[in-house]
Each structure stands twice: as structure tokens, then as C-alpha cells.
Amino acid sequence: MIINYLGLETFKLQVGDLTIAINPPSKDGSHKVSKFGADITLSSLIHEDMNGGADFSFGEKEPFVIAGPGEYEVKGVFIRGLPGVSEYDGEKRINTIYTIALDSMKICYLGAQSSKLLSAETKEGIDEVDVLIIPIGGEGVLDPASAYQLAVSLEPKIIIPMHYDKKSLETFLKEGSQQAADMVEKLTIKRKDVEGKEGTIIVVKQS
């Protein structure tokens, strides 16, 4: 699996010919990314910065758009959407937290989550996590300290921060007792790469 971070909360996951776009912005959003074709798109929030999934058709790729809680199986990928909460852009909204079973790993994507407290139903639905993608930038999403507390409680093998600036990233690393983190242009990862890891922070640079 190849994981690319495209800024704010936008990620591209690729396994072979399969491409998943997570929280891609719409054409009206303030966040801009270069358009690419996706087989599946996930949107955590009804906001133009994160719900442009329908726009990510390209060539022969026409995305299956997922934008809320529920259980989905698309192209052999099992995805579960679980209810969370966000105060992104100053408005309280439902934030969908996604778990994705992909390439023999389980990814948990927390979206624009603003509270470190999860309902018992959501926490039980998340269950075991190999790769956790979590916002740490504050101002409507988790602040660095709360983000780290939530991350630790979910016991992931790898933690990928998103939605951050230099200051919030430094604070998050200190919370994790890491003066520095592995920083990569893109993360290429296989099942064997997560074995034995406990809360290792990897920063994927914005591309």
C-alpha cells in the first residue's frame, strides 16, 4: 500500500490499480489538490473542504462515494463508517470516522474529529488498528495533546498525523516523547512493516 498526504485532511491510498481518496475537497473548497481518478472516495464531513468525492472521476475511473456512517464493501475493500463529532469551521457537525481493511492491514481515519472522547459504540467498532490517521491542528479539530491521548487509547501500531502546522506537529511529537519522527515523501507499507510497532509516529509530507 502507498499512502500519500495531499494536505489538510486529503489522503490517497493505492494498492495496485485500486485508488481510494479520503476527504478530497470539492471545487468550491478552500483547499485545492490536483485531481486524480479514484475508485472509492470517503468523506468525513459535509463541508466543501472535504466532500468533493463525486468530482474525482478521471478517465475510466468513476468513484463509489461514501459519505456517512454504515458498512460498505466495494471492490473487495471492507469499510466501516462510525459516528464522531467535529467543530471544523466553527460549526458542530457529525464527523464520520472510517476503518478500512486494505492490503491485510486495518487503517483508522479519524477525519475532522474534535473530541478525544469516543462513544462506546464507536470505540468498539474501531477495534484493533494498524495505521491511525489523526488530526492534530486544533481550531475545530483535535489539539496535539488531546490527539495524542486519543491515539494512545486506540493502541495503533503506526500513527500518521494530519491537519497540522509546524508548531502543532512539534507539540504532538513531544507528547509522544519523540524529538523527531520518521518523515517520508510517501509511505509505502506492507503488513510485515507494522508488526512489532507500538505507536510509532510517521510524518508523511504534503505532496
pLDDT band with cut points at 50, 70 and 90 for residue 179:
low
Least confident span in 26-40, 87-101, 123-137: 26-40
pTM of the model: 0.96
Give the domain extent around 186: 2-204
The count of domains in the chain is 1
**CATH code of the domain containing 80:** 3.60.15.10
DSSP readout, the chain? -EEEE-STT-EEEEETTEEEEESPPPTTSSS-------SEEE-SSSSTTT--GGG--BTTB-PEEE-SSEEEEETTEEEEEEEEEE-GGG--EEEEEEEEEETTEEEEE-TT---S---HHHHHHH-S-SEEEEE---SSS--HHHHHHHHHHH--SEEEEES--HHHHHHHHHHTT-SS-EEESSEE--HHHHTT-SSEEEEEPB-
Using pLDDT thresholds of 50, 70 and 90, give the confidence band for residue 180: low
Percent of all residues in the chain with a pLDDT value above 90, rounded to a whole number: 86
What pLDDT shows up at residue 55?
87
